[in-house]
Structure 1
């Protein structure tokens, strides 16, 4: 048994029992698919659309939350419920949530009205193509997409190596640089299959194969003004960044909760040995609980400005990532040789935790930015 889902359902801080139960019920259908998603690259489209119908993608959006109010914390916890069973699916939830979040913050009300309802309901699937852009804005990469202003929009060319939760007709948010003025950047929603935009699988990963992850090719693609989230970029990054980063903690918390469940499961027969390990289930629960309290305070004001607030958000994201690494490693030690068998749930959780640690912004990028914010 892959432990964790019952535990997270009991401890979830989702403020609406109805919302929690709806997300948990839809997530239950992922239990039998998790291994195939992870190892065989099965993309669980039906289940992901079902999560949208259950309200998982709208909790942080003013016009679509089934709580009657937007709550970033509840969106994080819904993602944790999914990730506790299958973090590949939890990652797709984050992609979907992020696309809705970009639309929440845009000044392009017409674009929001056109796309956000479908993304919130799961009728429209969506991803987030900001990995390169976030690195470029921090000075560690160059922009891979470049656009030239023409009548009615931009003509954009380039390649994004890895964008997830994609398929034909799916949308995603991304940024590009103006070829005539490198200081001018814009952000847009792009549809896979529109003229000049196509996808190609170019890598196989050690985990999360079933996440619809592809390279996206822009061949003189016309991005109309109606697709623009921000032009120029202006304050858009400052508006979306804290929520974008905090939402990622739902993946890490779900993996931690699953690892805790696996520790409890191992302790039923091996507790006499496991009691000597450095991190046990109770200690991990305490650490996860403390992180949830910190996130509850931070998620209450996702549009807050200030270097101190952003630094605290980034540190919380680091701490969740590091706890996921620590908890999954401890779960492996709790299981011993049984966890080292190919296909074991513990092995999958270890690989998922590695992903939490390296997804943009990775631990190393986060620490670099925290240091820069601390020096100012």
Structure 2
């Protein structure tokens, strides 16, 4: 929903990362991508820099601003490490669910530990976003159990399932004809089982795993929203907007590298790099405006198109970096950063909602007529 406390709809000013975090990311970005040993360190590093408080009202323990500031911060981290930005996105998105929930008990239990990075938040709603578009059925089912419920099912892919402790969100099929709800469940709750980390080709320090629920108890204090069909469209602009921060940061890093290489060698590519930079700046401005003024809540299609556009810009930016590098990009002692960005860029089209899923949804909306574009 739009931030009524702020009146301007212009782009937020880009802010540099704190020096300590910048240095840590630069020192460990390769290891975060290729190994799992530092997975437990990412959340504390981001928390120590105050990043999880960005875009959260000061009255609730945040540093103020709005979701646009969170998008900018995620993009800044993604310029250094998409693994860390992926963790940041999952955690900050869960915080957004808590902020937009009307459940005071949920806020009282989880908000401050999440802001401080003492507990990991896992968005868990990729399945729900696909459900909202009719792509996939819900994977978690609730059965009545006294005054509460028992949750059963599983989610095949969730990021930020930190081994030291996590809380995750899931959309849940409810009993007795009630609409699907959005629930939170803690990693140490009875019946919750986390898989070993998935064997990813990149982003291996992101604590990405599967999770299974077997008769997991849930009560009123665990309810994020009783009607997922109303809640999900309301949080989707923040969910997708902050997810787009990953594309923005990665594209900026590749374009900056390509421009520097062009200055030394292949000047014929300079105009193409600058043209793509202009396209990126335009897409970012439109994203921030739409997230801020609320238009994406009533019209999802323009936001879907922006997500696709930004993913395409990432692919083009990495290709320009490759062309500007030439054969040196294939030498390990010269091309480690490029090789990492190449692997990272392969993730952008498939993170849920994937480009294929978004394109299918846009085709459905186009076939159904103008009314469906507001869903």
Give the TM-score of the pair, scaled to structure 1: 0.87
| Structure 1 pair 341–178 and aligned structure 2 pair: CA distance change class (3 A) | farther
Query: In the alignment, which residue of structure 2 is the partner of 1:187?
Result: 182
Q: Which runs of 5+ in 1 are unaligned?
A: 1-12
Distance in 2, Cα, partners of 1:153 & 1:302? 34
1:321–1:357: 8 Å Cα contact kept in structure 2? yes
Query: In the alignment, which residue of structure 2 is the partner of 1:293?
Result: 285
Query: In the alignment, which residue of structure 2 is the partner of 1:260?
Result: 255
For residue 309 of structure 2, the aligned residue among 307, 313, 319 is 319
Query: In the alignment, which residue of structure 1 is the partner of 2:108?
Result: 113
Partner SS for 1:209:
coil
For residue 132 of structure 1, the aligned residue among 118, 123, 127 is 127
1:328–1:353: 8 Å Cα contact kept in structure 2? yes
For residue 232 of structure 1, the aligned residue among 224, 227, 231 is 227
2:262–2:269: 8 Å Cα contact kept in structure 1? no
For residue 279 of structure 1, the aligned residue among 239, 259, 272 is 272
Q: Supply the RMSD in Å over aligned alpha carbons.
A: 2.2
| Structure 1 pair 304–259 and aligned structure 2 pair: CA distance change class (3 A) | closer
Q: CA deviation at 1:348?
A: 1.4
Partner SS for 2:340:
helix
Q: CA deviation at 1:184?
A: 2.7
Give the TM-score of the pair, scaled to structure 2: 0.87
1:148–1:178: 8 Å Cα contact kept in structure 2? yes
2:98–2:106: 8 Å Cα contact kept in structure 1? yes
Partner SS for 1:358:
coil
| Structure 1 pair 304–14 and aligned structure 2 pair: CA distance change class (3 A) | closer
1:46 is aligned to 2:41: yes
| Structure 1 pair 327–22 and aligned structure 2 pair: CA distance change class (3 A) | closer
Distance in 1, Cα, partners of 2:297 & 2:284? 21
Distance in 2, Cα, partners of 1:47 & 1:212? 10
Query: In the alignment, which residue of structure 2 is the partner of 1:336?
Result: 326
Q: Which runs of 5+ in 2 are unaligned?
A: 1-10, 371-375
1:221 is aligned to 2:216: yes
For residue 245 of structure 2, the aligned residue among 242, 245, 250 is 250
| Structure 1 pair 206–27 and aligned structure 2 pair: CA distance change class (3 A) | same
The 10-residue stretch of structure 1 (73-82 or 261-270) with the greater mean CA deviation from structure 2: 261-270
Query: In the alignment, which residue of structure 1 is the partner of 2:339?
Result: 347
Name the count of aligned residue pairs.
Answer: 353
Distance in 2, Cα, partners of 1:193 & 1:250? 30
2:51–2:73: 8 Å Cα contact kept in structure 1? yes
Distance in 2, Cα, partners of 1:27 & 1:14? 20
For residue 174 of structure 2, the aligned residue among 167, 172, 178 is 178
Query: In the alignment, which residue of structure 2 is the partner of 1:10?
Result: none
Output one character per residue of 1:150-207: Cα deviation in whole Å (capped at 9) or x when no partner.
22321111121111111232111111113554x6311111111211112012631221
| Structure 1 pair 370–185 and aligned structure 2 pair: CA distance change class (3 A) | same
For residue 73 of structure 2, the aligned residue among 78, 81, 85 is 78
| Structure 1 pair 344–232 and aligned structure 2 pair: CA distance change class (3 A) | same
Partner SS for 1:326:
helix
Distance in 1, Cα, partners of 2:73 & 2:280? 15
Q: CA deviation at 1:24?
A: 5.3
